[in-house]
Amino acid sequence: MITAENLRKRYGSKTAVDGISFQLAPGKVTGFLGPNGSGKSTTMRMAVGLDKPTSGSVTIGGKSFPQHAAPLRTVGAVLDAGATHPGRTGRGHLQVLAATHKISKKRVDEVIELTGLGAASRKRIKSYSLGMNQRLGIAAALLGDPAVLIFDEPVNGLDPEGVRWVRSLARDMAAEGRTVFVSSHLMSEMSQTADHLIVLGQGRIIADAPIGQLLDSGEQRVLVRTEKPADLRRALGAEGVSIEQTDAETLEVTGLDARSIGRRALETQVVLHELTPQRSTLEDEYMKLTGEHVEYRSGGQEDRS
C-alpha cells in the first residue's frame, strides 16, 4: 500500500533520508524503528506530501498522496501532537477537517468517543495535556476511516493505559486489513505491536524483515557454567568462536551451538553446571543493527557491544 523508491531528502547539506526503498503490505503493523534523527519523521512527512523528496518517490496505493480524491479516507496520519490551533476546541479542530470531505457530525462524535476525548473535546486545545493532544491527533487520523494509518511516535506522552490502547488500536486496524505504519525509537515498543520491522539508521534501511526473522537471524550465544572455565576455554577455542568470561565460572560463547559445546566438554572431561542457549533479545539486535548508525552516542553505550 505504501511504496518508497530511492526516496531521498536533503535539508541543505544534511541528508535526512538517504535513498530508501520499501513496500508496506496491508493487514500488518509495520514498525519503523530507528534512533532519534535517523529520518523516520522525514520519511513519514514525505509520504503525506508535507515535505517534497529531493529525489525518488513515495506513493500510496500507486498514487502520490495529493493525487487521491479523498485523502482523509486514504491516509490517517498522526505526525506530531500539536499540529492544531490552540485556540480551537478539539471538536472544532475535528469539524474543520471533517468539513473538507463532507464527513458527518456523527463520525466526529464517534472518533471523540473512540479516543476517549469525551468532555475535553469542548475545551480549547491550549488546555490539553500531551496525552490528550495525542488522542486528538489519533481522532483526526481516524476521522475518514482510512485504509492507511501512519503514526509517528504515537505513544509519546501517553499514560500506560493510553499506551496499551494505542497498541491494541494499531493491531485492530491491521486486523481489519488496513496498512499500519508506526514509528518509534524504542525497540520494546515495537516488539509489542509490530509484525514487520523496518530499521533505519542515519537515513538508510539497515533491516527490513518480519519481526520473528530478525530474532532468528541474531547470533546465538550460549551461557556455560563450569567448574573449570580455563580448561573449557582452551577446548572450545577455535576460528570464529568468541568466549567471554563473565565471572569465576561463567562463560558466554558465541560461534558454537550448545550441542557442540556439550560434546566438547565431555571429550575434555569438564563438568558443566549449566548450558543455556541465549536467544538474543530484539533489544540486543536493535543495538547491534544501529550501533554503527547512531548519530549521537551516549557515553555508556560502548561497553554493550
Partner 1 sequence: MTINTASATAGHRPFEVDPSLPGISFGGVMRSELSKLKALRTTWWLSLIAIGLGTFIAGSVAVSYRSFGGNGDELALAEQGTAGAYFAMILLGSLGAIAMTTEYSTGAIRSSLTAVPRRTTLLIAKAFALTLWSAGVTLVMMLLGHLAVVLFSGELSLTAPFQDTEILSMYAATGLVVVLTTLMGFGLGVFLRSSAGAIVVLTLILFVVQMVLAIMYGVTEGAEWVEALLQIEYMALLDSFVSADAGAYGMVEPLEPWQGLLGILIWVAVPNILGWLSFSRRDA
Ligand X SMILES: Nc1ncnc2c1ncn2[C@@H]1O[C@H](COP(=O)(O)OP(=O)(O)O)[C@@H](O)[C@H]1O
Binding site for partner 1 (CB under 8 A): 1, 25-28, 45, 48-52, 65-66, 68-75, 77, 79-80, 82-88, 92-93, 95-97, 99-102, 140, 145-147, 171, 174-179, 188, 191-196, 210-212, 215, 281-282
Q: Does 134 bind Mg ion (CB under 5 A)?
A: no
How far apart CA 163 and CA 192 sit, in angstroms, is: 11
Residues in the interface with Mg ion (CB under 5 A) total 1
Indicate which of Mg ion, ligand X, partner 1, none lies near residue 164 (CB less than 5 to 8 Å, by partner kind). Answer: none
CB nearer to partner 1: give 118 or 177: 177
Binding of Mg ion at residue 290 (CB under 5 A)?
no
Question: Which residues in the 19-38 window bind Mg ion by CB under 5 A?
Answer: none
Binding region for ligand X (CB under 6 A): 11, 14, 16, 34, 36-42
Nearer to ligand X by Cβ, of 42 and 179: the residue is 42
CB of 64 to ligand X, least distance (A): 19
Would you mind telling me the total number of residues written for the chain in this entry? 305
191 binding Mg ion? (CB under 5 A): no
Of 16 and 232, CB closest to partner 1: 16
With CB under 5 to 8 Å by kind, the binding choice for 34 among partner 1, ligand X, Mg ion, none is ligand X
- Cβ distance to partner 1 smaller for residue 52 or 106: 52
Shortest Å, Cβ 292 to ligand X: 16
DSSP string, 198-265: EEEETTEEEEEEEHHHHHHTSPPEEEEEES-HHHHHHHH--TT-EEEEEETTEEEEESS-HHHHHHHH
> Contact, 49 vs 66, CB < 8 A?
yes
* Closest CB to Mg ion among residues 41, 192: 41
37 binds, among partner 1, Mg ion, ligand X, none (CB under 5 to 8 A by kind): ligand X
Torsion, Cα of 67, 143, 146, 53 (10° steps): 40
Cell of 295: 548519530
Nearest to 236, CA basis, from 259, 219, 220, 253: 253
Q: Buried b / exposed e across 211-236, counting CB within 10 Å, b at 16+?
A: beebbeebeebbebbbebbeebbebb
Per rule CB under 5 A, is residue 43 in the interface with Mg ion? no
87-126 b/e (C-beta count within 10 Å ≥ 16 → b):
eebbbbbbeebbeeeebeeebbeebbeebebeebbeeebe
Among residues 77 and 232, whose Cβ is nearest to partner 1? 77
Quote the radius of gyration of the chain (alpha carbons, Å).
24
For the chain, the first-to-last Cα distance in angstroms comes to 37
Residues that bind Mg ion in the complex, under the rule CB under 5 A? 41
